Amino acid sequence: MKPMSREELDEILTQTLEDRRLSRGERRALREVFADMALDENGRSFVRHRVFALAREAIRGADAHSVLDWAEDVVKLLAPVPDRPAAIAEVHFSPGDRCRLCITRMLKQAQATVDICVFTITDNRLAQPILDAHHRGIAVRIITDNDKADDPGSDVYQLGRSGVPVRVDLSEHHMHHKFAIFDGKTVLTGSYNWTRSAAEHNQENLIVSDDAKLVAPFVHTFDKLWQSLGPSS
């Protein structure tokens, strides 16, 4: 893997520093980033140096305590970890069942969390595995577009009534993302809408990866959107 530059590292760290705390998802994503970097003692010292350099820049009066808490939380993640299993790198296309079956498999394999951020969900063959994951104790969250949530056949509000936390975009624009994060370490994204038409008729694509440098920005974006959007009605 190509070594990460200081600029790339600073960009990832700065994203997690933005709200002065490490969310659960950001913590997992950073741990994956550091594992990918295969840090030796010099590498860990370099990351610690960048963490505290960014912290010093961010400290402003009463904000100092939370910034230092962030720095401490990040540095704790630098402890050596066991070797990671082989990386996940998959590509699927529709029409056909490959994209849908991939999503279903990822939902079934999730062990702790599933964060779904998609424009629309109207395919019952995907809504049911989402509900099944929720029922077996997986912490599922859904972000979607409010206009599409009101479409005929939308499964979003039914999932919400079943206890799955849902938040929707309330602006005049669209929440047009199509991605999902599984256990904070694998991302699934592409043009594929979670609809029956996407499976049966449309030319769509889906990519799955556990590359920590790709996953971390998705985790950050989901957490940021979740905090900014309202609950579904």
pLDDT confidence band for 19 (50 / 70 / 90) = confident
- The answer to whether residue 113 sits within a structural domain is yes
Strand partners, 114: 140, 182
Coil, strand or helix: which one is 121?
Answer: strand
Neighbours of 64 (CB within 10 A): 13
End-of-domain residue from the set 76, 109, 125:
76
Whether the full predicted model's pTM is greater than 0.75, yes or no, is no
Check which CATH number belongs to the domain holding 191 and give it. 3.30.870.10
Q: Are residues 126 and 226 in the same domain?
A: yes
Q: Are residues 18 and 117 in the same domain?
A: no
Identify the pLDDT of residue 66.
Answer: 86
Count the domains in the chain: 2
Q: Are residues 65 and 98 in the same domain?
A: no
Cβ(165)–Cβ(142) under 8 Å? yes
Residue 131 vs residues 59, 107, 142, 183: alpha-carbon distances, Å? 43, 10, 11, 16
Greatest mean pLDDT range, 14-18, 35-39, 80-84 = 14-18
Q: Are residues 101 and 67 in the same domain?
A: no
- The answer to whether residue 146 sits within a structural domain is yes
Q: What is the domain extent for residue 30? A: 6-76
Cβ(93)–Cβ(47) under 8 Å? no
Question: Which amino acid belongs to residue 188?
Answer: L
Q: Could you tell me where the DSSP H helices lie in the chain? A: 6-17, 24-37, 41-58, 64-76, 98-109, 124-135, 146-149, 156-161, 196-200, 212-228
End-of-domain residue from the set 19, 54, 76:
76
Among all residues, which ones are annotated catalytic?
Answer: 176, 178, 183
